[in-house]
């Protein structure tokens, strides 16, 4: 018991340091993926066939290739093209781009879930497409999309562990370093797993709450 407590005191600072970077990585990637995902979703729904095709190819490539390959590409290939990024910056870019493909589909489904009559009514009072989208459609679609966005945030938190491969000092990377230095694999990786679960659990509760609360209030297309 004394040994367990000693190890906990000894390793906790490094693991907490990695946890903070994991949180930072997740929040930044989620923010940028939401922005990019919305742009791609609107592009995919565009009447312009070229914009539509480009967005379809974008989504297909990102959903059809492993996240690990995308992270390696951003970190190792982009410098050859003249774009130097730190490991953390490369991780944020890679995770944001990957997640944006999934967010685009969430946004598209959310927007299409709103009855077309809402858009027609907005145009009838003089709103253009963009104003109707911003003031009428997106606020309603947002409520429909929140549970799916929450699930994506949970997946993004776990996927951030892949950033360890490009030496981002997040939770998994810190765990690897400690395990390699001390050979206390069972204790350290158990701690890492528990921390990931603690990060995930509040999000899971929030998603459950939103699904139960929002189910009765969602706008639906006929």
Q: Where are the domains positioned within the chain?
A: 2-214
Residues 6+ apart with CB under 8 A from 33: 95, 96, 97, 98, 99, 100, 102, 103, 152, 156
pLDDT 10s digit of each residue in the chain, 222 long? 557 777 777 888 889 999 999 999 999 999 999 999 999 999 998 888 899 999 999 999 999 999 999 999 999 999 888 888 999 999 999 999 999 999 999 999 888 888 877 777 777 777 777 778 777 888 888 888 888 898 999 999 999 999 999 888 888 988 988 998 888 889 899 999 999 999 988 888 888 887 777 655 544 544
User: Whole-model pTM above 0.95?
Assistant: no
CATH number of 2-214: 1.10.3720.10
């Amino acid at each position: 018991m004394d040994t367990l407590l000693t190890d906990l005191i000894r390793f906790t600072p490094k693991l907490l340091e990695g946890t903070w970077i994991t949180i930072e990585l997740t929040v930044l990637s989620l923010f940028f993926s939401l922005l990019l995902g919305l742009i791609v979703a609107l592009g995919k729904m565009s009447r312009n066939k070229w914009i539509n095709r480009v967005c379809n190819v974008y989504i297909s490539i990102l959903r059809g290739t492993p996240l690990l390959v995308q992270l390696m590409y951003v970190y190792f290939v982009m410098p050859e093209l003249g774009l130097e990024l730190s490991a953390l910056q490369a991780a944020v870019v890679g995770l944001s781009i990957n997640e944006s493909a999934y967010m685009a589909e969430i946004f598209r489904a959310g927007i299409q879930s709103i009855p077309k009559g809402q858009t027609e009514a907005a145009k009838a009072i003089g709103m253009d497409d963009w104003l109707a989208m911003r003031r009428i459609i997106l606020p309603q679609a947002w409520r429909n999309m929140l549970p799916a966005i929450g699930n994506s945030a949970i997946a993004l938190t776990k996927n951030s562990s892949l950033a360890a491969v490009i030496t981002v000092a997040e939770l998994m990377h810190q765990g690897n370093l400690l395990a390699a230095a001390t050979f206390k694999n069972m204790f350290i990786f158990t701690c890492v797993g528990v921390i990931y679960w603690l990060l995930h659990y509040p999000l899971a509760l929030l998603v459950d709450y939103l699904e139960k609360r929002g189910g009765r209030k969602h706008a639906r297309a006929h």
